[in-house]
């Protein structure tokens, strides 16, 4: 009786506004969550009864879904969806093990995908259908004959081409998950699916006035899905390369045209729209690479060349004087991905890209650029030593220049940006010293080395930022370990006793050093490690 009452309470009422969800709707969604917890508890008391009750409601409703009100159809599918958490199993193995349960779930899933309920004319039912087939993706390993039916539902007016933007958006994400979960079972359908999603991959330039079916965020999922389909296929490397080139060439061609238009655009709104579109093109290409885990998989698929072509197409955007922040952000993200996918093949492009990214940059630009340099330093270590030697001081000059800019006393946002940049700067020094590259600092000349060391002392003592303080003590400890012997730079031993040792005592004595704060405790711990390292190096 309680179970049936909970099932009834889960049902939407007539007043629920699906198109414009407000406070009442939010309260009902919250109420549903509470009911779900109650259902989970009931499942612990009597799992068999819950399974039998849901099966009865589900089968009765879906037999006559065409003549049943949307809220009853939605709740029937919702109950099937909720069974996965109410009767949990490891790794989603709902269709093996307990025969009674596996058979019941298999029967309900078969009914769901063969009943035609995916065509029900209400967004709540449509969404619940797609959520449920994705949740029970292992059903398709048991009954793969239903895969084409569900793929068509995703691809036609019921899913990605639905009249509701909300349904299209959610379906784009769910479709991506569905394809990834099926993996090799998608092989017979790859070419067909790639052909059917072709129009959804189109980059919509601002001037064509055409309202695309999917937003650029939704398109990211479609590009990722296309990449996964190509990479996981059983095609030869040559065929995979052709398909990947077919996927990325339209983006590269549009990118070149749009970049030229941006260079000539006068109106700022138009400049912004073009820059956004260029950024989307880079983001889409970036997203296709998520199908690869490392350089090996890219090489096996014969796709290195395609991505190097993309890199050469996108990098000229860094020298565009307009909308720099947007363009740099997109290219930077692409470089992060290519370091993983192409490894050392990216290195020839890094010096020129860095040079452009350091021109006329602000705190946020630098803050986002430093993680790229950290990634390169940590991954390639001595391979990039000459590059680091060359760009070390230009990078530091750019950082110091921004940090020394005067800011208004009450400008919280500027203060926070500077704090984050300072942290990024110290993280960079930590990466350099921690990657066995301390000679990069040592080779910058005595005056520059001293300046860098003083900024680290300042970070350890003067700034009330425990995260930066912790990083500074890690740097100092590492430098003492590396340079504290006879082979260290001239004058470093004096620096240790004149500045590093006092810093280890001055920092904890500061009023801002709050030992109730976890990060401060970590900073203190690193401070103690620094003193210990100094003692061992004596």
| pLDDT tens track, the chain, 538 positions | 888 899 899 999 888 998 888 999 999 999 999 999 999 999 999 999 999 999 999 999 999 999 999 999 999 999 999 999 999 888 878 998 889 999 999 999 999 999 999 999 999 999 999 999 999 999 999 999 999 999 999 999 999 999 999 999 999 999 999 999 998 999 999 999 999 999 999 988 766 666 788 999 999 999 999 999 999 999 999 999 999 999 999 999 999 999 999 999 999 999 999 999 999 999 999 999 999 988 888 988 989 999 999 999 999 999 999 999 999 999 999 999 999 999 999 999 999 999 999 988 888 899 999 999 999 999 998 899 999 999 999 999 999 999 988 878 788 888 899 999 999 999 999 999 999 899 999 999 999 999 999 999 999 998 888 899 999 999 999 998 888 877 778 888 888 889 989 988 888 888 777 777 788 778 778 888 888 887 766 6
Phi-psi region of 97 (alpha: psi -120 to 50; beta: other; left: phi over 0): left
Rounded to the nearest 10 degrees, how much is the dihedral formed by the CA atoms of 64, 69, 71, 72?
-30
- For 164, the 3-state DSSP assignment is coil
- The 3-class secondary structure across 327-338, one letter per residue, is HHHHHHHHHHHH
| DSSP conformation class of 499 | I
Q: What is the pTM of this model?
A: 0.89
**CA dist., res. 357 & res. 328, Å (int):** 7
The number of beta carbons lying within 10 Å of the beta carbon of residue 24 is 12
Given a contact cutoff of 8 angstroms between Cβ atoms, the answer to whether 291 and 232 are in contact is yes
> In the numeric block, which tokens belong to residue 231?
């990479």
- The 3-class secondary structure across 360-377, one letter per residue, is CCCHHHHHHHHHHHHHHH
DSSP line for 13-79: PTT--SSS--HHHHHHHHHHHHHHHHHHHHHHH-HHHHHHHHHHHHHHHHHTGGGS-HHHHHHHHHH
The number of beta carbons lying within 10 Å of the beta carbon of residue 176 is 22
Given a contact cutoff of 8 angstroms between Cβ atoms, the answer to whether 475 and 422 are in contact is no
Given a contact cutoff of 8 angstroms between Cβ atoms, the answer to whether 8 and 76 are in contact is no
DSSP line for 410-439: T-HHHHHHHHHHHHHHHHHHHHHHHTT-HH
The number of beta carbons lying within 10 Å of the beta carbon of residue 195 is 9
Q: Which of 89, 91, 137 is nearest to 113 (CA)?
A: 137
> In the numeric block, which tokens belong to residue 269?
């709104």
Cβ burial, residue 47 (10 Å; 0-12/13-18/19+): middle
Residue with tokens 């061609």: 253
**CA dist., res. 244 & res. 246, Å (int):** 5
């Amino acid at each position: 009786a309680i179970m049936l009452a909970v099932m009834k309470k889960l049902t939407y009422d007539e007043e629920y506004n699906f198109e414009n969800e407000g406070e009442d709707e939010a309260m009902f969604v919250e109420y549903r969550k509470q009911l779900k917890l109650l259902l989970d508890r009931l499942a612990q008391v009597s799992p068999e009864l819950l399974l039998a009750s849901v099966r009865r409601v589900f089968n009765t409703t879906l037999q006559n879904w065409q003549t049943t009100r949307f809220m009853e159809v939605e709740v029937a599918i919702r109950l099937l969806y909720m069974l996965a958490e109410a009767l949990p199993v490891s790794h989603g193995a709902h269709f093996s093990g307990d025969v009674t349960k596996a058979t019941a779930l298999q029967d309900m899933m078969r009914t769901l995908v063969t009943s035609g309920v995916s065509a029900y004319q209400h967004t709540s039912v449509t969404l619940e259908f797609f959520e449920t087939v994705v949740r029970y993706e292992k059903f398709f390993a048991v009954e793969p004959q239903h895969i084409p039916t569900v793929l068509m539902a995703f691809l036609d007016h019921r899913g990605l081409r639905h009249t509701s933007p909300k349904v299209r958006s959610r379906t784009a994400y769910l479709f991506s998950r569905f394809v990834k979960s099926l993996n090799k079972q998608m092989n017979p359908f790859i070419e067909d699916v790639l052909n059917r999603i072709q129009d959804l991959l189109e980059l919509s330039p601002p001037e064509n006035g055409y309202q695309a079916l999917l937003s650029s965020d939704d398109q990211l999922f479609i590009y990722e899905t296309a990449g996964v389909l190509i990479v996981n296929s059983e095609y030869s490397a040559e065929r995979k390369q052709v398909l990947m080139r077919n996927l990325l060439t339209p983006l590269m061609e549009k990118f070149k045209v749009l970049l030229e238009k941006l260079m000539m655009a006068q109106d700022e709104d138009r400049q912004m729209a073009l820059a956004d579109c260029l950024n989307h093109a880079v983001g889409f290409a970036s997203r296709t690479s998520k199908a690869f885990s490392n350089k090996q998989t890219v090489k096996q698929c014969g796709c290195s060349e395609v991505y190097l072509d993309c890199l050469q197409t996108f990098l000229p955007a860094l020298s565009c004087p307009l909308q720099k922040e947007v363009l740099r952000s997109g290219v930077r993200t692409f470089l992060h991905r290519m370091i993983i996918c192409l490894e050392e093949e990216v290195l020839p492009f890094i010096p020129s890209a860095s040079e452009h990214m350091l021109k006329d940059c602000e705190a946020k630009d630098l803050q986002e650029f430093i993680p790229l340099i950290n990634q390169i330093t940590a991954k390639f270590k001595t391979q990039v030593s000459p590059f680091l030697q060359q760009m070390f001081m230009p990078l530091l000059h750019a950082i110091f220049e921004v940090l020394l800019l005067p800011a208004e006393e009450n400008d919280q946002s500027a203060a926070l940006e500077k704090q984050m940049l300072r942290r990024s700067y110290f993280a960079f020094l930590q990466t350099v010293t921690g990657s066995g590259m301390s000679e990069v600092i040592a080779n910058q000349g005595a005056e520059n080395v001293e300046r860098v060391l003083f900024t680290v002392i300042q970070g350890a003592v003067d700034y009330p930022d425990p995260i930066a303080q912790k990083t500074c003590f890690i740097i100092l400890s590492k430098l003492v370990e590396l340079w504290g012997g006879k082979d260290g730079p001239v004058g470093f031993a004096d620096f240790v006793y004149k500045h590093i040792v006092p810093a280890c005592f001055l920092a904890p004595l500061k009023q801002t050093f709050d030992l109730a704060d976890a990060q401060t405790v970590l900073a203190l711990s690193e401070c103690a490690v620094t003193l210990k390292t100094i003692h061992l190096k004596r």
